[in-house]
Structure 1
Amino acid sequence: MLDYAKILSENVQEIKPSGIRKFFDLLGDRKDVISLTVGEPDFMTPYHIREAGIESLEKGRTFYTSNNGILELRREICNYLNRRFGLAYEPKSEVIVTVGGSEAIDLTVRALIEPGDEAIIPVPSFVCYGPIVELAHGKPVFIETKEEDSFKLRPEALRAAITPKTKLLILPYPNNPTGAVMTKDELEEIAQILEGTNIMVLSDEIYGELTYGRRHTAFATVGNMWERTITVSGFSKAYAMTGWRLGYLCAPKELVTQMHKIHQYAIMCAPTTSQLAAIEALKHGDPDIEMMANEYNRRRKYILDGLRKMGIDTFEAEGAFYVFPRIGKFGLSSDDFCQKLLDEKGVAIVPGNAFGDCGEGYARISYAYSVEHITEALKRMNEFIKELF
């Protein structure tokens, strides 16, 4: 019998599974569970977008597109980014349509990172960044952000983390899991530190449409950051299109030309049907964005109020669709708190340490669920907290 441990690469075997999915998988076939674990809109993809996808299939548009995506889609991406965020990109040479934002992140890291290069990653943050850097034989350098700083990257912390080996800074704002949003002034402080270096920036702006109280600032619009920024986004969150698996990256053509080669050999092209549906989303989907963002904001206020009423201190999330309550005072680790809540009350949330060691003492709760769903979860959580004492 083959010893697969000796056959598989050590690099792959050392990568840890996603802490989010690991906990989600614990739910199994339980029917009584109220889950607030997954960062996926509960809205169905808007009808006119689905209709565009269906129409493309009925017309037989089932063939490959150009590697970097349908040119009309790339034009609409550029129009959208300019209209909504003031970004300027050239559709023929500065855009790649990818299989979700995750491919765009992987593509960026593989194009930039060589063995031994360092990538700075603020944490808590989405689980994929570190492993993707490690798979490229780079070294993730994690900067702990703190609640007293509103979970934002502080310029002095960035300055201290930079070494001669630093190749990349990953900026994950609006942030998953904390809901933190960086202001233009705060981003300008980060930009000043990067001036005069060769450090590139991967700005993951997948939640850029989901901010509450202020508009998102695209990092490439700050100072002279355009030339060093790879802007990553997609359709999953803003348009409720998670299953369509469509994202994109925008960057200077010198970078896109090289990234194209990786994308060409690894993927060929993103799904044709998804691309054609996305054209419709970009042309006519602004009202859908506003409707869903307004509803998420209503849920955000509702869940923050509910958690605070039961005595759980919770950071005032300003973006995405997560809250990151502090649970350390209950005398349980994040893992134990979430496991006990699941076992005793059938409520599933994600331990904060799934997003970095500094997430210990916190938990991530998604409000991408109906108010009725959230209400029942809060009711059970309140019972759980009372029984802990």
Structure 2
Amino acid sequence: MVLLVIAAALAGTVVQFTIMFNGPPPGFGPVPIGRIAQVLRSGTLPDDAARRITLNRVSGDVFGRPDEQPSSARDAAIAERIGVPVERVRGFYLFPARDPTEDLRGSFTIALAQENGWLVAASPELPTFTSWHVRRLSIMLATVSLLSLFAWAVARRISRPIRHLADAATRARVGARSVIPMEGPREIRELAESLEAMQERILQQAEGRAAMLAAITHDLGTPLSRIAFWIEQLPDAARDRANGDIAEMREMLGAALRFTREDGSSVTHVRLDLGSLIESLVDDLAAAGRPVECAMGPRVVMRGDPAALRRMFVNLVENAVRYGDHAALAWSIVDGMAQVTVDDEGPGFSGDPEMLFAPFVRGEASRNRATGGTGLGLAIVKHIVEAHSGTVRLENRAGGGGRVRVRLPVE
């Protein structure tokens, strides 16, 4: 990488030196004062002098350019060559020389007084943009173009493995290690090695914690069974309350166990019709007495795990019914992605809705304190959606109520 930067800097320097040693910008060469005297004396401009001298007759006595200065010594030398009194010559020079007989360099304006006005010999105006400038500019543009192509190729070679690293980091999750590509320049390969080591450490820690949580969840089932046996000896009212608490604890343990198993390692992706899956799910839930409906959408074919997707939509419907008393599903294709929305009639989401995707975070404080839930439903939803390379968002509808927007890739 450093060598490439040095090479580009050297190439630019070589081009600049080439332009510099090719000579300065073109200008008119020195003009002998004898030539000026000849033109003013004859009042005509020879063809061989037309490129470096202009000759005009004017009536006014205002001459010279802003950057030219008078020189009486020059005027005297030119008047002597013409053979007229010095009072009849008035000149202005860009570079007044120490020796007035030297050739004129730079711009000049020299006027000879005549009976009917002034005869003015002057250096022509130098064009701002000459063929010299065109050639040099062409060389510089060609060099910049070549360096730009070279820089683009280098940047593409560097950015491609970086994009691959970003994709691999996005795909990495517990139970599904992402293959880190070892490609590109040395610095990128070192970054890939560090990223792979970091992924291994993080996934090992996450898998260890998930395994520990699964073991604890499983082992708690045995003491709960013993407690359920002993509470049978309690009075009816106390027994009913205790059984309700045990049932709630079993539900929480079951949800925690399902969450730890949603690691993506056992997901089997098959080709499926997303619309048919949603319709079948809605029919089953409606038959079970759930207040749920769906709006028909286009045919959407994708690859995924039908059981996991069904479980994800069941969680969303249960949340909508729990907090909004009603669930309405709809699907469409937006920007090449399948988009499924689940709307409810509840109070919507407050604060930071994204926090509700965290495990064991419940929305009762902002929605309905009397409702239950383990705080794992939306965490499982997000886990399943990300396992299918999709996204999920919680939104508030303009007319009131909440909306969950799920986007999944299609074939």
TM bucket (normalised to shorter chain) is: under 0.3
What TM-score does the superposition give when structure 1 sets the normalisation length?
Answer: 0.18
Larger radius of gyration: 2
What TM-score does the superposition give when structure 2 sets the normalisation length?
Answer: 0.17
* Higher RCO structure, 1 or 2 (CA under 8 Å, sep 6+): 1
